[in-house]
Chain A
Amino acid sequence: MAAPPTGAAGGASILTSNTRTGRIIRWVDYRLPFVAALQHELNEYPTPRNLNYWWNFGSLAGIMLVIMIATGVILAMHYTPNADLAFDSVERLMRDVNYGWLLRYIHMNGASMFFVLVYIHIFRGLYYGSYKYPRELLWMLGVVILLLMMATAFMGYVLPWGQMSYWGATVITNLFSAIPVVGSKIVTLLWGGFTVGNPTLNRFFSLHYLLPFVIVAVVGLHIIALHTHGSNNPLGIDHRGPQDSIPFHPYYTIKDMFGLSVFLIIFAIFVFYMPNSLGDAQNYIPANPLQTPPDIVPEWYFLPFYAILRSITFDFLGIPGKLIGVILMFSSILLLFVLPWLDTSRVRSARFRPIYKIVYWFLLIDVFVLGYVGHNPPSGSIVTIGQIATFYYFLHFLILIPLIGKIERPRPLPISIGAAVLGAGAGAAAAGPTERH
C-alpha cells in the first residue's frame, strides 16, 4: 500500500497536531482507533484513477440504505401492525401526520430507487468482471445483500395491508407449498394461521424492521472485502503502483457527491411529482381475504423473477411444473453465487472480451424481456416468450459463460492503469497496447 502524498500529508496533520482537537483525537484513537481507521480507509485508501461513473452506484446504494432506515424508523412510530388497523394507520400517516406523506413517499419510492441502484451496480460488476479473483467473496456478500433486500422489500410491501399487499403475500408464501411433503406445514408456519392474517402481518413487521440492520452488517463486510483488494476498474487490470491510483478523498468523494446530486434530483421527481407511478393502485383498497384482485402483479423489481416462476407450465420428469418454477426462480439468483467459478476467462473487463461483450448485452435485453413478461398476464405468446427468455437466462450463465472463456481470444491488455490513462510516458513502460484508449 503506497501512501499517496496528498492523503498522507492531510491525514498526518490531524493525528499529530498539538491543538486541543488533535490531543482529544489522539486520546480516543489510542483506545479506539476510529479516526485512524477513517483516515486509512478514506484518505490513504488508494483508488484506481480511471473509475468511471458506473462506480458511483455502490456508494449511492449505501446512502439509499441510510435514507430507508431513517425514514423507516420514523414511519414505524406511526404505524400499527394489526390487520384491523394497519391500513387506516397508513392513511392517517398520509393525511393527518405532519409530513407523513413525504416520509412515506420517500420510503416507498426509495425502495424502487434502491433496486435501480443495486441492479445497475450488479450489471456494472458483470460488465467489468468485478466478481473475479480476488473479489469472489466481495461479490458473494453482494448477492447476500440482494437476497436480504428482496426479503425486506417483500415484507415491507405487505405492511400497508392493501389488496396487493395481502394477495402478493399469499402468492409468494404459497410458493413454499410446492416443496414436497412438508410444503403445507411450512406455509402454515410462515402464516401463523390458515391464511395470511394478523400473525403474518406482525412477524413481517418485526422482520422488516430487523433485516435492514442485518443488511448494514453485511454491507460492512462487503466494504471490508472491497478495501482488502481495492476497487476493480474499467480496464479490469490490477493496481501496480502509485501512478495507477489517486486518494479516495477528495477525488472520489467529490465525484460521489456530484453523482448523488444528480440521483437525488431524479429521486425527488418521483417523490414529488409521480409518487404512485411505480406502485399499484390496487394497494389503496384495504385487504380483503375473500376477494382476489383481477390481476396480481408484484412490484417492478421482482418482475423478471416472477416471469421465471410462471414460465414452467408443464410437468417435467414427474416433477410438478409449480415446483420447477419455484426452483428456477431461486436458482436464478443463487447462480450468481457460483458465477466467479462458472466464468472461465481470467480477463475481467468486457472491453477486452469481444464475444463476452455481445452476450452481456443479450443478457441485459433478456432480463428486460423477462420483466415485460412478468408484467403481463400469462396467455398466448407471452407464455412462449417467457419460456424462451427463461431458457436463455440459464443458457447464459451455465453454458455461454463457461464456454466463451475457453474459446474467446481476448484483446491485449494495457501494461498498467497509469499507462493506459495518462498515455505512454507517464506509465513509464507501455507504448503499444495503450493506443487503443
Chain B
Amino acid sequence: MADLAQSHLPAGHGGGTRRDFLLLTAGALAGVGAVITVWPFVDTLNPARDTLALSTTEVDISPVQVGQRLTVAWRGKPVFIDHRTPEEIKAAEAVDISTLRDPQKDSDRVKKTEWLIVVGVCTHLGCIPLGNKQGEDRGPFGGWFCPCHGSIYDTSARIRQGPAPLNLAVPPYEFTSATALKIG
C-alpha cells in the first residue's frame, strides 16, 4: 500500500504516474471489451439469415404488354416493372438532367430501354406511389404519384416535384432469358 500511495503522489505536481497509465489502459481495454460484448446484442436485430435468404425474386415478364405495369414483391417491398411505350421512353430520354433534383440519365436507370424496373417505395417516407395499377393517378409527368406527401415521378421514376429527395431506387436485377427477370 505504501508504495502505491507514493506513486500516486507526484500526480499533484503534474505529469502522469504509473497509476494514471494503468487506469487509462485498463479503462480503454474495458471500453473495447464492452463494445465487443454489446455488438452481438445489437446484431441480433439485423436481418436474420432466413430473412436474407428471401432476397431474390424471379418473374416471368412475357405476359406484360407494352404500356402495362406490374407489381411484384421483393424483400417484402413492391417492385414496379414497367413495359414502357416508345413515347414514354422518348419523354424520359428528352429530359435535361441538369434540371433534376437527383440528376440521372434514363439510360443509367435501365438495362433494356423498354423495361423500367424500380423499387416502388417513395424515397421521402416510404409510402407506395400510385400509378402502377390501371386507372390510378400517374401525376403530370406520366410516371407515379405518391399520395402521402405529394411526390411526383416521371416515366423514368425520377423525382420531379414534391418532398422526396431521390429517384425511385433501381434494384439489382438481371434478365436471365428473354422473358425471365431475376431481382436481387
Contact = CB atoms under 8 A, between A and B. Distances in A.
Tell whether A pairs with B: yes
Interface of A: 167, 170-171, 173-175, 177, 188-195, 197, 199, 203, 289-292, 294-296, 310, 313, 320-322, 377-379
A171 B48 contact: no
Interface in B74-93: 75-78
11 contacts: A171-B126, A189-B42, A189-B45, A189-B46, A192-B45, A192-B51, A193-B47, A289-B73, A289-B76, A292-B148, A321-B163
Contacts of A321: 163, 165
Contact of A194 (B77, B125, B128, B147): B77
**Of residues B48, B73, B75, B127, which shows the largest number of chain A Cβ atoms within 10 Å of its Cβ?**
B127
Contacts of A294: 147
A197 B126 CA distance: 14
Interface in B93-139: 124-128
Interface residues of B, number: 24
B19 interface: no
A199 B48 contact: yes
B126 A170 contact: yes
Nearest to A178: B165
Nearest to A184: B169
A203 B76 CA distance: 18
Contacts of B165: 320-322
Given A189-B45, A189-B46, A322 B77 contact: no
A69 to B, nearest CB: 25
Q: Chain B's interface: helix, strand, loop or mixed, by majority?
A: loop
A292 B77 contact: no
Contacts, number: 77
A429 to B, nearest CB: 52
Contacts of A322: 124, 163, 165
A377 B163 CA distance: 13
B182 interface: no
B8 interface: no
Contact of B47 (A175, A188, A292, A310): A188
B163 A310 contact: yes
B44 to A, nearest CB: 9
A197 B55 CA distance: 14
A291 B128 contact: yes
Contact of B148 (A171, A189, A194, A291): A171
A199 B163 contact: no
Among B77, B78, B126, the one with the most A-chain Cβ atoms within 10 Å of its Cβ is B126
A192 B48 contact: yes
B150 interface: yes
B18 interface: no
Contacts of A174: 124-126
Contacts of B126: 170-171, 173-174, 177
In the A-B complex, list the 5 residue pairs whose CB atoms are closest, starting with the nearest: A194-B75, A195-B76, A174-B126, A292-B127, A171-B125
Nearest to B130: A292
Contacts of A313: 163
Nearest to B165: A320
Contacts of B78: 289-290
A167 B75 CA distance: 17
B147 A295 contact: yes
Given A192-B45, A289-B76, A290-B71, 18 more contacts: A170-B126, A190-B45, A192-B51, A194-B51, A194-B76, A195-B76, A195-B77, A199-B45, A199-B47, A199-B48, A203-B45, A289-B77, A290-B78, A291-B128, A292-B127, A295-B148, A322-B163, A379-B150
